[in-house]
């Protein structure tokens, strides 16, 4: 199989694309891959690092807010848009793919669209509960739409040919039991909270967790805390912990800028407090974790809020919009969970029920059937 994969701009589009490539390779070791992405995005670095050939195509989104700077950017974006179809055709003609797979981002548009026009089998994958603009446009012309959650169908045409595949998660996430993970972290068997806001961090989550950690220690609650404060907290969070007389590393705390061993930390946790990106939620479901989700309010289409509500409605998570987050309320909530572990157990069970355990097989069956 010759697979042309495209998607980019953020890790939320790139990581699923690379995961899909791995799934194809697992079933067809002789498969040949080419990845089309923008030279400006993360994919330009991550894709070659993963060992795949990279074909650059210049595409940028348009700025909605009018300013002199944005007008200049939009002129450049228009120029890139005009050249994107010829460049996509050039890539397709040279590579001669058996299938073209898009995972979102502006760059998917011209590549998948031109392939569909040529009658080449096309498939797209949507990670979020609220589909992006590119997915909504391409869904009308591709052979198959793969969805992480069925709720995304509400925003697509009724006659779209779709299948729910779930989202691939890293296999290593399932390698540790809760007991083994806590032992590796130097924790005992007490209630454990994991919190993070991504590699950059999230000010709201940092501010809240600083007060939570202070509160639980002051009130004698035997709670283990793992927190990743991210880049935006590196100059402030350690100082706040010092002020509160909280060690960054002890038999109760593990506080770092970035969590490099997320598989172990996630396995150790009873409760996870985080944003609601699609990949994170898939991991919570795969590991059966209860969560408090604080969606980022500054993402396209407010898609994190829609993602979080899938878990919230299933009783797997508590969803709090950032504007409504209050440290006192979160402290009280965690103390309630601490005193009533059956609530956590029920949320965990509901989370596990949402996991699509055979995602890899569903994705492969979809791709192979479209190629046939």
pLDDT tens digits, one per residue of 111-135: 999 999 999 999 999 999 999 889 9
Of 62-66, 199-203, 253-257, give the range with the top mean pLDDT.
253-257
Residues 6+ apart with CB under 8 A from 343: 290, 336, 337
Euclidean distance between CA atoms 29 and 2, whole angstroms = 11
CA angle at 261 for the pair 257 and 264, rounded to the nearest 5°: 125
At residue 12, does pLDDT exceed 90? no
- Per-residue pLDDT, 94: 97
Euclidean distance between CA atoms 175 and 42, whole angstroms = 28
Residue 114 CA, chain-centre distance (Å), reads 27
Euclidean distance between CA atoms 86 and 196, whole angstroms = 43
Domains of the chain, first to last: 2-167+357-371 (3.40.50.2000), 172-354 (3.40.50.2000)
What SS3 state is found at 367?
helix
Task: Indicate the burial class of 75 (C-beta count within 10 angstroms; 0-12, 13-18, 19 or more).
Answer: exposed
Per-residue confidence at 173, pLDDT binned at 50, 70, 90? confident
At residue 76, does pLDDT exceed 70? no
Euclidean distance between CA atoms 204 and 325, whole angstroms = 8
pLDDT tens digits, one per residue of 199-239: 788 999 999 999 999 999 999 999 999 999 998 899 999 99
| Ramachandran bin of 241, using left for φ above 0, alpha for ψ from -120 to 50, beta for the remaining angles | alpha
Per-residue confidence at 298, pLDDT binned at 50, 70, 90? confident
Euclidean distance between CA atoms 120 and 82, whole angstroms = 22
Q: Which of 139, 200, 156, 142 lies closest to 11, judged by CA?
A: 200
């Amino acid at each position: 199989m010759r697979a042309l994969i495209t998607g980019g701009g953020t890790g939320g589009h790139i990581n699923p694309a690379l995961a899909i490539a791995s799934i194809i390779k697992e079933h067809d070791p002789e498969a040949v891959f080419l990845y089309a992405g923008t030279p400006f995005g993360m994919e330009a670095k991550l894709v070659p690092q993963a060992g795949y050939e990279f074909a650059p195509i210049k595409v940028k989104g348009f700025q909605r807010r009018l300013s002199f700077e944005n007008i200049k950017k939009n002129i450049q974006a228009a120029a890139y848009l005009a050249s994107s179809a010829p460049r996509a055709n050039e890539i397709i003609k040279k590579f001669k793919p058996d299938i073209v797979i898009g995972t979102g981002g502006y760059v998917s548009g011209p590549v998948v669209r031109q392939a569909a026009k040529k009658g080449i089998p096309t498939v797209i994958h949507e990670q979020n509960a609220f589909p992006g603009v590119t997915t909504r446009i391409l869904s009308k012309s591709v052979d198959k739409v793969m969805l992480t959650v069925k709720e995304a169908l509400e925003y697509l045409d009724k006659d779209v040919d779709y299948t729910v595949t779930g989202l691939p998660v890293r296999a290593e996430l399932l390698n540790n039991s809760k007991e083994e993970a806590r032992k590796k972290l130097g924790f005992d068997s007490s209630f454990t909270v994991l919190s993070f806001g991504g590699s950059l961090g999230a000010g709201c989550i940092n501010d809240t967790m600083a007060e939570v950690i202070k509160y639980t220690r002051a009130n004698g609650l035997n709670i283990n805390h793992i927190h990743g404060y991210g880049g935006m907290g590196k100059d402030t969070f350690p100082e706040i912990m010092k002020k509160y007389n909280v060690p960054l590393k002890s038999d109760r705390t593990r506080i770092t800028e970035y969590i490099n061993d997320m598989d172990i930390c996630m396995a150790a946790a009873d409760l996870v407090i985080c944003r609601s990106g699609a990949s994170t939620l898939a991991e919570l479901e795969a590991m059966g974790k209860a969560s408090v989700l604080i969606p980022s309010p500054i993402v396209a289409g407010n898609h994190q809020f829609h993602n979080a509500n899938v878990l919230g409605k299933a009783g797997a998570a508590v969803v709090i919009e950032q504007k409504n987050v209050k440290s006192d309320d979160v402290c009280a909530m965690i103390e309630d969970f601490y005193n009533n572990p059956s609530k956590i157990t029920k949320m965990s069970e509901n989370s596990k029920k949402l996991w699509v355990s055979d995602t890899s097989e569903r994705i492969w069956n979809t791709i192979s059937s479209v190629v046939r």
